[in-house]
Amino acid sequence: MAYYPGGWNDLKNSEPDPITEVVTYAAITVGGTTTNGIVKYTSDFITPIGGIWDTSPISITSEPYVDALDAAIYPHEAELASALNMQTKIYNPDVPSPMENLLFLYGNDEQPLYRMNIPLSFGASTCNKLMISVFENAGTLGNNHGQIQVIDFGSGPFSGNLTLKLVFTGYYGSCNIGVFTEETDPHSASSILCLRCIISQIESDLEDSEEIKDKYSDEILATKKQKKKPKPKPWNEGIGVSTSGGDPGTSDSSSGFTKPK
């Protein structure tokens, strides 16, 4: 994410950060129904829809957790996710309230894919807008159209509890994610909850543990093979190229192929 050496002067006039550089997949689950987010551009994240900013009614309700998206194919990944959930305290409700939204999350390096699940609640409120973006984007003027990139979850209505599902790929470090909502009941106001995220890469030494190796050696090997990128083939592989020592710009009589100079 960007840095602002001039403080608010630089932030206000800076180009908004794309949320897709941090979050590669986002969805919400409400009552067993999952809704995938849609990438769009909007000015709502900058200007409150009802003209009023208020405190967010959204709060974290319980410990976020990791799950493995490829667990059905590679069973060992489910055990790795369980190990991460056991070893990591992602959220701490017992700290001073300004720190309650500090989350220690996990990201991916291509494969395998692990997803973060963050339980949230709207409390007693009903909302008709829900979207996420980089939190600092709310302090900018937007792009040249006065808009910023968001991941939008539709117009609801939203109430009660939900789970925010996020996948981070190739991004590690600190990032503030803003959860924007437009409240309609008990009053009309816009708000942004700031999730202060510290994203770490999943340590490979978990995968290298002897117990996991013994149980799932074939699956781990297959996963690691998928991570390797194929080497580029030589330009002349599989093509009959003349070896007669003539002009490199002449055609090989056997193949009809002209070797480049």
What's the pLDDT tens digit per position in 129-165? 999 999 999 999 999 999 999 999 998 889 999 999 9
In terms of residue numbers, what domain contains 31? Answer: 8-205
Among 195, 155, 151, which Cα is nearest to 24's? 151
Q: Is 250 within the bounds of a domain?
A: no
Instruction: Using the predicted structure, report yes or no on whether residue 216 has a pLDDT greater than 70.
Output: no
pLDDT at 210: 54
Instruction: Using the predicted structure, report yes or no on whether residue 52 has a pLDDT greater than 90.
Output: no
What is this structure's pTM?
A: 0.75
User: Dihedral through CA 131, CA 134, CA 136, CA 142, nearest 10?
Assistant: -70
Q: Is 240 within the bounds of a domain?
A: no
CA distances from 251 to 50, 238, 242, 259 (A): 73, 16, 8, 7
Q: Is 61 within the bounds of a domain?
A: yes
What's the pLDDT tens digit per position in 197-207? 999 988 654 45
Q: What would the two tokens of residue 158 be? A: 């939203």
% pLDDT > 90, the chain: 49
Query: In degrees rounded to 5, what are phi and psi of residue 42?
Result: -155, 160
Q: Is 254 within the bounds of a domain?
A: no
What does the alpha-carbon distance between residue 71 and residue 37 come to, in Å, rounded to a whole number?
23
pLDDT at 184: 84
SS3 17: coil
Q: Is 212 within the bounds of a domain?
A: no
SS3 65: strand
Comparison of pLDDT for 175 and 238, the residue scoring more = 175
pLDDT at 164: 97
Comparison of pLDDT for 187 and 69, the residue scoring more = 69
Comparison of pLDDT for 233 and 43, the residue scoring more = 43
Q: Is 230 within the bounds of a domain?
A: no
Q: Is 236 within the bounds of a domain?
A: no
**Domains contained in the chain, number:** 1
Question: Kind of pairing, strands 148-152 and 126-134?
Answer: antiparallel
Residue type, 144: N
Q: Is 245 within the bounds of a domain?
A: no
Instruction: Using the predicted structure, report yes or no on whether residue 74 has a pLDDT greater than 90.
Output: no
